[in-house]
Amino acid sequence: MVVHPDHHHKLIDGRVISARVLDEVTESINDIKKNGIIPALAVVLVGDDPASAVYVRNKKLMCDKVGINSLEYKLESTTTETELLELIDRLNKDDDVNGILVQFPLPEHINKQTIINFINPNKDVDGLHPINAGKLMNGIESLVPCTPQGSHIMLKSTVDDLSGMNAVVIGRSNLVGKPMCQLLTNSNCTVTQVHSKTRNIESYTKNADILIAAIGIPKFVNADWVREGSIVIDVGINRITYERDGETKTKLVGDVDFNGVIEKVAYITPVPGGVGLMTVACLMNNTLKATKFQMEL
């Protein structure tokens, strides 16, 4: 990612904004520690997906940084669904565990939704439990999925009032697309959700004041798709390979063709250094929120 000097003012910097969130979380945790409460997050990793191992390591480092006690459970890929449910049951019942995060993807023989449904909603720091999804839809204070929560904070760092803005969300996953639409609706945006079955996606994206790209296809959104002066939040984290000097290298790119799009837009999030950093910061925020809720603070 090459940023032209003239374009620096267009970047929504995930480093700066996530640092702000983490400072607030750390401050709050120091406060509740005076009452002898130390938030604890249990992270469960099944199997040996290399990307998941990296994410888990990042989450642990971040826990250490803000003062959250992180508990790691690493299970073999042969672990049965019943064994995983037994572990979650123990964590649900353990008052010293405030947040439970099961790292996805899971091995094929384990049903993801069964696992999500079994986590105590008050400890569900991913915000994926149907009860938390329902609370978000009803505007009730709840644990909101980390990536859309982080994207929403980034948006609000550039625009004070999102009321009446046209927002287009590309993607409809339970983890990002759907809750993102809900957060935007709750902020009084007019929201359109487009996805793989939408005809002429660009006819919608061209009218967007705010465009959220969450589809998992590298550089899917090009300059022709965006409106002049709009705000683009790129949720994609895609590892692509490319050739240089006869060597095969890899790099991270988003769902947006950054170099093409930055010319046209008012603001854009970079990849890396954007939404990804916010996701981990919001996980820390959710763990704190869950702890306070359980302790009735």
| Catalytic residue IDs | 59, 103, 126
Classify strands 40-46 and 69-75 as parallel, antiparallel or unpaired. Answer: parallel
How far is residue 282's CA from residue 139's CA, in Å, rounded to a whole number? 18
How far is residue 9's CA from residue 268's CA, in Å, rounded to a whole number? 10
Can you say whether residue 210 is alpha, beta or left, with left for phi > 0 and alpha for psi between -120 and 50 degrees? beta
Residue type, 44: V
Scanning the structure block, which residue is given the tokens 């091995």? Answer: 107
Long-range contacts of 172-178 (CB under 8 A, 24+ apart): 173/214, 174/128, 174/133, 174/145, 175/126, 175/128, 175/145, 175/147, 176/145, 176/147, 176/148, 176/151, 176/214, 176/235, 177/214, 178/133
Query: Could you give the strand order of the β-sheet that contains 40-46, starting from the edge strand earlier in sequence?
Result: 69-75, 40-46, 99-102
**In 3D, which of 150, 155, 147 has the Cα closest to residue 191?**
155
**In 3D, which of 236, 129, 134, 144 has the Cα closest to residue 183?**
144
Provide the token pair at 26.
């750390």
The residues, ordered by sequence, that sit 6+ positions from 156 with a Cβ below 8 Å of its Cβ are 162, 187
Half-sphere exposure of 195 (CA within 13 A, CB side): 10
